[in-house]
Amino acid sequence: MGNITLNQITKKFGEVEVIPPLDLQINDGEFVVFVGPSGCGKSTLMRLIAGLEDVTSGNIQIDGRDATETPPAKRGLAMVFQSYALYPHMSVRKNIAFPLRMAGMSKEEQDAKVEAAASVLNLSAYLDRRPGQLSGGQRQRVAIGRAIVREPAAFLFDEPLSNLDAALRVGMRMEISELHKKLATTMIYVTHDQVEAMTMADKIVVLQAGVIEQVGGPLELYHRPRNTFVAGFIGSPKMNLIEGPEAAQHNATTIGIRPEHIGVSTESGTWKGRVGVSEHLGSDTFLHIHDTGLCDLMTVRVSGEMNVHHGDTIYMTPEADKLHRFGPDGLRLD
């Protein structure tokens, strides 16, 4: 079981309010991802849930019981830290067994659970090594192993992949998703990475300055961002946000159109601009377009190759039904 409910929780460090009153419901078995710009309070929120920080006000319920005053060890949650936080002087086996040992479990039971976790995580060959003798990805798996042997109600991951190289990151992303499918345990996951958020999450929580801007499934956030912040934050490259007369034509203060929803041509179209930098990725080409008179820089995605050069004039046509409209308060208009 892993229902977590946050009721009006706030957090102040001294005079600074890092998290203004915040409500959030996390259901059993969900994979919830917290995203947001650096310093927006993702780690703080996770540490509040873990109990490593005290809430200033409000309450936290885990499985319907008030856990606001419960010490971290009693909350039944397991955390995987960004630095892995393995115990360097213990072997992998002892690291994984540590929570069991602290719980006073018998040696045989400990061994059985460690072996089971190690085989799930492909660590069996490394059980007698020290963490210092492992690669980054293996350390990461040991940290996850230490978390799963406790059979927690929920896992908390704070940017667990940020120390890994790109290829390993893709692999570990799949492994964690696999693990979630297998264990069906609630997971809360903090990341900077768009792709991790979009691919892994059942539910994404977008935070800015401690405020939840939107909660929803990845595609919901993509198709129906609730405000201009979410519109600009979710999706890569970023959505083009246009203000002024062009937006007024659509009865809005701001209109948004994603780079992939703009058609381009060298002959004719609704908007006109001058090609700046083009990024060729092989499968796609991203064109940065200047002097449109709409916004500073417009980004357009073209499938495959497009033969344009720096300084060429180009015409763009947005797909009308993919246009997002936002009001003066930045909220979505429908």
Partner 1 sequence: MSTQHSRTAARFMIAPATVLLLGWMLIPLCMTLYYSFRRYRLLTPDRTGWVGFRNYENFLTNPAFMDALVNTLVLVLGVLIITVVLGVLLAVLLDQPMFGQGIVRILVIAPFFVMPTVSALVWKNMFMNPVNGLFAYAAKAVGLQPYDFLSQAPLASIIGIVSWQWLPFATLILLTAIQSLDSEQMEAAEMDGASPLSRFWFITLPHLSRAITVVILIQTIFLLSIFAEILVTTNGGPGTASTNLTYLVYAESLLNYDVGEGSAGGVVAIILANIVAIFLMRMIGKNLDA
Ligand X SMILES: Nc1ncnc2c1ncn2[C@@H]1O[C@H](COP(=O)(O)OP(=O)(O)OP(=O)(O)O)[C@@H](O)[C@H]1O
Q: Which parts of this chain interact with ligand X (CB under 6 A)?
A: 13, 18, 36, 38-44, 192
Residue 214: strand, helix, or coil: strand
Nearest partner of 96 among 64, 130, 135, 59, judged by Cα:
130
Sheet (strand 262-265) strand order: 262-265, 313-318, 271-280, 284-290, 298-303
**Are the C-beta atoms of residues 94 and 34 closer than 8 Å to each other?**
no
102 binds partner 1 (CB under 8 A): yes
Choose among partner 1, Mg ion, ligand X, none what residue 83 binds, the Cβ cut-off being 5 to 8 Å by kind: partner 1
Choose among partner 1, Mg ion, ligand X, none what residue 162 binds, the Cβ cut-off being 5 to 8 Å by kind: none
Round to whole Å and give the CA distance between 256 and 254. 7
Choose among ligand X, partner 1, Mg ion, none what residue 41 binds, the Cβ cut-off being 5 to 8 Å by kind: ligand X
Minimum Å distance from CB 110 to ligand X? 34
Residue closer to partner 1 (CB basis): 118 or 302: 118
| Rg, Å, the chain Cα set | 24
Round to whole Å and give the CA distance between 258 and 128. 51
Choose among partner 1, ligand X, Mg ion, none what residue 72 binds, the Cβ cut-off being 5 to 8 Å by kind: partner 1
Residue closer to ligand X (CB basis): 55 or 264: 55
Q: Which stretch binds partner 1 (CB under 8 A): 32-40, 75-83, 167-175, 323-331?
A: 75-83
At 255, the amino acid letter reads I
Please pick, from the candidates 7, 10, 25, 43, the single residue that binds Mg ion as defined by CB under 5 A: 43
Round to whole Å and give the CA distance between 171 and 326. 38
Please pick, from the candidates 59, 81, 199, 288, the single residue that binds partner 1 as defined by CB under 8 A: 81
Choose among partner 1, Mg ion, ligand X, none what residue 40 binds, the Cβ cut-off being 5 to 8 Å by kind: ligand X
Round to whole Å and give the CA distance between 309 and 276. 8
Q: What share of the chain is helix, strand, coil (3-state, %, to 5)?
A: 30, 30, 35
The residue written with tokens 């009721």 in the block is: 7
Which residues from 129-168 bind partner 1, rule CB under 8 A? Answer: 146, 150
Instruction: Kindly write down the DSSP assignment for every residue of 44-108, as one continuous string.
Output: HHHHHHHTSS--SEEEEEETTEE-TTS-GGGGTEEEE-TT----TTS-HHHHHHHHHHHTT--HH
Residue closer to ligand X (CB basis): 18 or 201: 18
Which residues from 9-68 bind partner 1, rule CB under 8 A? Answer: 50, 52
DSSP state of 125: G
Q: Which stretch binds partner 1 (CB under 8 A): 14-22, 97-105, 112-120, 134-142?
A: 97-105
Residue sitting closest to Mg ion (CB): 43
Minimum Å distance from CB 18 to ligand X? 4
Please pick, from the candidates 9, 49, 77, 314, the single residue that binds partner 1 as defined by CB under 8 A: 77
Contact residues for partner 1, defined by CB under 8 A: 50, 52, 71-73, 77-79, 81-83, 85-90, 98-99, 102-103, 146, 150
